[in-house]
Amino acid sequence: MSANKLFRLVINQSTIVVFVLMLVAAGFLSDRFFSPDNITNILRQSVPLGIVSLGLLYVILTGGIDLSVGSVMALVSVVVALTIPGFGVAGAVAISLVVGVACGLVSGSLVANFGIAPFIATLATMTITRGLSLIVSKGQPIFIDDQAFMDFGGASVFGVPALFFLLIVVTIAALFLNRKTVFGRLVVAIGSNETATRFSGINITTIKLAVYAISGFTCAIAGVVSATRTGVGSPILAIGFELDAIAAVVVGGASLAGGRGTVVNTLIGALILSMISNLMNLMDIPGYHQQVVKGVIIVFAVLLESAKRRATTHH
Amino acid sequence: MSDYAIRIEGVGKTFGGVHALRDVALRVRAGTIHALVGENGAGKSTLMNILAGILRRDKGTIEVFGDPADFASPVESQKRGIAIIHQELALAPDLSVAENMFLGDLGNGSMFVDWKTMNRKAGSALSAFGFNISPTTMCGDLSVAYQQIVEITKALVIQDCRVLILDEPTAVLADPETDVLFDNLRKLKESGITIIYISHRLEEIFRIADAITVFKDGRTVADLDPRSCTEEDIITNMVGRRLEALFPPKPERDPDGDVLLKVDNLTRSGVLDNVSLNLRVGEIVGLSGLIGSGRSEVVRAIFGIDPIDAGTIEVSGKRQVIRKPSDAMRVGIGLVPEDRKRQGGILPMSIRENMTMTNLEAISRFGITNARAERRIAQASQDRVKIKLGALNDALSSLSGGNQQKVIVAKWLNTDCKILILDEPTRGVDVGAKAEIYSIIAALAADGVGILVISSELVEIIGLCHRTYVMSEGVIAGELKGGEMTEEAIMRLAIPKRRVH
């Protein structure tokens, strides 16, 4: 392989390259990083962020944004905790997924049917769902008393957490939707050029509604996952989580203007962010400092992305 | 010292091989109103943009008040006393009149805004021209005519201009406002200002101009005196026979064939007024008119992009309500829109994906795409419209303009539409691709597709269409068939008439 080809490969796969470099660096910075316990820990921690980011990727691909992800997770965790006693685990999970999709449809409808800017529409949904979760829970955490439900959160298969398999399943589904379906293609088309897509006789409203519903659905899964891990339905769960999710998608190389972004890189983006948090904990970096480091890393990731775009458009 | 405010000799300008200006000569006497006329694309605006420092000439000489000039930027042109007022006004609607006038230097050299002085200066400048406009009014609250006055006052007072260029200033004005504008232009002329006036309305030119220069195909072809010439003289000079051998023979059609598309009394307030037209099987019908005459708006309304206030659309004898492009597509209408890059194609996506965008059912089952079916359809399209490309998986942006346009035509051929509307199908396309697009259009008509073509190029309408509608100011000004279609006849209908008061 020539140097030029290698260079181009590095540029094109920059997200993966950054990920590998970070893994190597992490190994040097902390000798506990590669211990089996810690790896399991990272994998488990990355699940909610990974799942939410994959749903959010669809919204961002259309050129939209979903700020309500953290609030929807909180509402769902409260709903699942409240409904397990009455409906059983399966019933409660089903209800939770419906609630998540319903929240997404509200945002989607505000954007697609009423033409409200996605930032504002989902800001409203974010505030409303956070309020609802506080009302429904009366502001108190709700403890879950169901052993089967709790066991899933801690279960492992061959040392890999069961929850991580869930993330893999969601990734495969997202990949399939993105690569193999008409829907996935139209999502990219809308983000690339909404006018031309509409002029091709495509019904934009339906597609936009659907991407927010997908985001609501993945938030619901993440909300249930959080509940199984902690055993609590918490109305103050995942405050500020939308920013982590947006960061993961952007670190994964997606464009907030829409049209550009891949499923695999988004997953890696989420893993990078989870890994950074974990590494800084291992290194005993205080929480306040961690935020600064995270911010700097996001800036570098985006700069790398724009440098890459410039490099590839010159050809 | 010369008598001429502006003297231009032998100026040329090319854009990537296209000659916008070939050899232009223009002499504008100081203190006169000089009108420029010509078809869309004849070169008037290009020349004015060169004069205003927005574009730079490739060759020739320009003198401003006897001194040679070569402007690298609008600021240099302004310093020499030239100001241009574009058709699209450049005022900030949420700022006051005074703020807009002093926008470049709000603080008058200091960091702080001296509101009192600024408002006083703006007020006295406006009243010097006899306008009672309060300098504290928000520009957005003014009528378009008064906004124009604000821009002109800004140019005259703040920039101290001596040559004022107006690009179709009356296109956005109602009649009483036009009268106000003309009174002021005459006043300005008396005070020694030179005015270059671009307009399509010949009647206005006779009212106000002291001299007329006619543009055609990037050349100045005649200098006329409005006191001695007639409208006929101007029109004859504007057009001319340039019919090239680009066009395929017109396909046979049955003049009494089935009506595919029948539009009745289509009305959209302020834009379209009772537009009626029809299109038969195998017919190629033109929709000509000047830019802004409502041509594109008609097809936008038919295709469900813009809402309509009144009127009906029948497709194959059946009345249809079309509210969005997907409705139009369902009843068999396709549209190749005027802006290829923004409306026609999705540039970053592949050629293949662009081609199948209108026919996703054919390449998928239960929403899952079938790569083989898609490749087959894309390959067939490529062969049908003869696109030169590297690979079907390349981005649409990798193709030349002509080939991009063929992809967009191909995507509608994939829908088997009965009616195909093409809005400026050959704009920005090289001659070879033009001829190929014409033969695709003729072949489609021979297959029975009804085709509606919008074009600013009269030759294209005459060479390609069986008949044409001509639009002017939102109405159908007339219809011309076969041999009646001449450049003069079309232009006569297209040029706005004296308005009924």
pLDDT of B2 strictly over 70: no
Q: Do B368 and A180 touch (CB under 8 A)?
A: yes
Joined together, the tokens standing for residue B204 give: 């206005």
Considering only A202-216, B134-148, B171-185, which range has the smallest mean pLDDT? B171-185
Joined together, the tokens standing for residue B52 give: 């205003």
pLDDT of B66 strictly over 70: yes
Render pLDDT for B29-60 as a digit per residue (tens, 0 to 9): 999 999 998 877 788 888 998 998 988 999 99
pLDDT of B501 strictly over 60: no
The b-or-e profile of B319-338 (16+ CB within 10 A means b, else e) is: ebebebbbbbbebbbbbbbb
Nearest residue of A to residue B331, measured between CA atoms:
A201
How far is CA B47 from its chain centroid?
Answer: 16
Are B58 and B46 in contact, with CB atoms under 8 Å apart?
A: no
Question: In this predicted structure, what is the pLDDT of residue B499?
Answer: 52
Are B43 and B20 in contact, with CB atoms under 8 Å apart?
A: yes
pLDDT of B241 strictly over 50: no
Which amino acid would we find at residue B137? T
pLDDT of A1 strictly over 60: no
CA distance B81 to B52: 10
* Chain B residues inside the 8 Å CB shell of A254: none
CA distance A11 to A23: 18
Helix (H, G, I), strand (E, B) or coil at B496: coil
Chain A contact probe: residue of B349, B356, B364, B397 with most A CBs at under 10 A: B349
Q: Do A200 and B343 touch (CB under 8 A)?
A: no
Considering only A166-180, A290-304, B368-382, which range has the smallest mean pLDDT? A290-304
The b-or-e profile of A89-108 (16+ CB within 10 A means b, else e) is: beebbebbbebbbebbbbbb
Percent of chain B with pLDDT over 90: 43
Q: Does A116 touch chain B (CB under 8 A)?
A: no
Confidence of residue B253 (pLDDT cuts 50, 70, 90): confident
Rg (CA), chain A: 20
Nearest residue of A to residue B344, measured between CA atoms:
A196
Residues in a beta bridge with B259: B280
Write down how long chain A is: 315
Question: In this predicted structure, what is the pLDDT of residue B231?
Answer: 81
Q: How far is CA A73 from CA A66, A106, A120, B416, B500, in A?
A: 13, 15, 19, 47, 66
Q: Does A32 touch chain B (CB under 8 A)?
A: no
Considering only A266-270, B188-192, B235-239, B327-331, which range has the smallest mean pLDDT? B235-239
pLDDT of B213 strictly over 60: yes
Nearest residue of B to residue A201, measured between CA atoms:
B326
Considering only A234-238, B471-475, B496-500, which range has the smallest mean pLDDT? B496-500
Question: In this predicted structure, what is the pLDDT of residue B125?
Answer: 85
* Chain B residues inside the 8 Å CB shell of A315: none
| Residue whose pair of structure tokens reads 């030349």 in the numeric block | B400
Chain B contact probe: residue of A192, A199, A205 with most B CBs at under 10 A: A199
Question: In this predicted structure, what is the pLDDT of residue B498?
Answer: 57
Q: Do A259 and B348 touch (CB under 8 A)?
A: yes
Q: How far is CA B68 from CA A20, B9, B36, in A?
A: 63, 11, 22
Find the CB nearest A192 among B330, B348, B360: B348
In angstroms, how far apart are the furthest CA atoms of chain A?
Answer: 64
What is the residue extent of each domain of chain A?
48-238
Mean pLDDT of A108-130: 96
Q: Does A191 touch chain B (CB under 8 A)?
A: no
Nearest residue of B to residue A176, measured between CA atoms:
B368
Q: Do B326 and A202 touch (CB under 8 A)?
A: yes
Specify the pairing of strand B368-369 against strand B364-365: antiparallel
Confidence of residue A79 (pLDDT cuts 50, 70, 90): very high
For residues B243 and B230, which has the higher predicted lDDT (pLDDT)?
B230
Are B8 and B60 in contact, with CB atoms under 8 Å apart?
A: yes
Q: Do B346 and A197 touch (CB under 8 A)?
A: yes
Question: In this predicted structure, what is the pLDDT of residue B244?
Answer: 55
Phi first, then psi, for residue B64 (nearest 5°) are -115, 115
* Chain B residues inside the 8 Å CB shell of A195: 342-343
Contacts of A255 (CB under 8 A, 6+ apart): A60, A261
pLDDT of B174 strictly over 80: no
Q: Does B304 touch chain A (CB under 8 A)?
A: no
Average pLDDT of chain A is: 91
Half-sphere exposure of B217 (CA within 13 A, CB side): 9
Find the CB nearest A196 among B330, B343, B363: B343
Q: Do A203 and B326 touch (CB under 8 A)?
A: yes
* Chain B residues inside the 8 Å CB shell of A202: 325-326, 357
Q: Do A203 and B305 touch (CB under 8 A)?
A: no
CA distance B445 to A80: 63
Are A126 and A111 in contact, with CB atoms under 8 Å apart?
A: no
Mean pLDDT of B153-169: 84
Q: Do B353 and A193 touch (CB under 8 A)?
A: no
pLDDT of B500 strictly over 50: no
Provide ipTM, 2 decimals: 0.85
Q: What is the 3-state secondary structure (H, E, C) of chain A?
A: CCHHHHHHHHHHCHHHHHHHHHHHHHHHHCCCCCCHHHHHHHHHHHHHHHHHHHHHHHHHHCCCCCCCHHHHHHHHHHHHHHHHHHHHHHHHHHHHHHHHHHHHHHHHHHHHCCCCCHHHHHHHHHHHHHHHHHHHHCCCCEECCCHHHHHHHHCEECCEEHHHHHHHHHHHHHHHHHHHEHHHHHHHHHHHCHHHHHHCCCCHHHHHHHHHHHHHHHHHHHHHHHHHHHCEECCCCCCCHHHHHHHHHHHCCCCCCCCCCCHHHHHHHHHHHHHHHHHHHHCCCCHHHHHHHHHHHHHHHHHHHHHHHHHHHCC
Considering only B48-52, B99-103, B278-282, B294-298, which range has the smallest mean pLDDT? B99-103
Joined together, the tokens standing for residue A65 give: 């944004």
Question: In this predicted structure, what is the pLDDT of residue B301?
Answer: 94
* Chain B residues inside the 8 Å CB shell of A185: 353, 360, 369
Confidence of residue A147 (pLDDT cuts 50, 70, 90): confident
Q: Minimal CA–CA distance to B26: which of B17, B37, B15?
A: B37
* Chain A residues inside the 8 Å CB shell of B335: 199
CA distance B475 to B14: 35
Nearest residue of B to residue A259, measured between CA atoms:
B348
In angstroms, how far apart are the furthest CA atoms of chain B?
Answer: 80
Joined together, the tokens standing for residue A141 give: 């955490």
Question: In this predicted structure, what is the pLDDT of residue B16?
Answer: 65
Nearest residue of A to residue B362, measured between CA atoms:
A182
Q: How far is CA B388 from CA A225, B399, B433, in A?
A: 52, 8, 10
Query: What 8-state DSSP symbol labels residue B6?
Result: E
For residues A160 and A72, which has the higher predicted lDDT (pLDDT)?
A72
Are B357 and A202 in contact, with CB atoms under 8 Å apart?
A: yes
Ordered structural domains, chain B, with CATH: 4-81+162-238 (3.40.50.300), 242-332+417-501 (3.40.50.300), 347-415 (no CATH)
Distance between terminal CA atoms of chain A?
19
* Chain A residues inside the 8 Å CB shell of B346: 189, 192-193, 196-197
Q: Do B348 and A180 touch (CB under 8 A)?
A: no
CA distance B480 to B264: 18
Question: In this predicted structure, what is the pLDDT of residue B243?
Answer: 47
Question: In this predicted structure, what is the pLDDT of residue B240?
Answer: 61
Q: Do A181 and B345 touch (CB under 8 A)?
A: no
At residue B230's C-alpha, the angle toward residues B224 and B235, to 5°, is 80
- E strand or H helix at B120, and its extent? helix B115-128
Considering only A25-29, A216-220, B250-254, which range has the smallest mean pLDDT? B250-254
Query: Cβ-count burial of A134 within 10 angstroms (0-12 exposed, 13-18 middle, 19+ buried)?
Result: middle
pLDDT of A315 strictly over 80: no
* Chain A residues inside the 8 Å CB shell of B358: 200-201
Q: What is the 3-state secondary structure (H, E, C) of B162-192?
A: CEEEEECHHHHCCHHHHHHHHHHHHHHHHCC
Q: Does B337 touch chain A (CB under 8 A)?
A: yes
* Chain A residues inside the 8 Å CB shell of B330: 201
pLDDT of B402 strictly over 80: yes
> How far away is chain A from the Cα of B11, in angstroms, using its nearest Cα?
34
Render pLDDT for A23-56 as a digit per residue (tens, 0 to 9): 999 989 888 899 988 998 899 889 999 999 999 9
Q: Do B305 and A192 touch (CB under 8 A)?
A: no
Question: In this predicted structure, what is the pLDDT of residue B17?
Answer: 64
Average pLDDT of chain B is: 87
DSSP states of B255-310: TTPPEEEEEEEEEETTTEEEEEEEEETT-EEEEEE-TTSSHHHHHHHHTTSS--SE
Q: Do A199 and B325 touch (CB under 8 A)?
A: yes
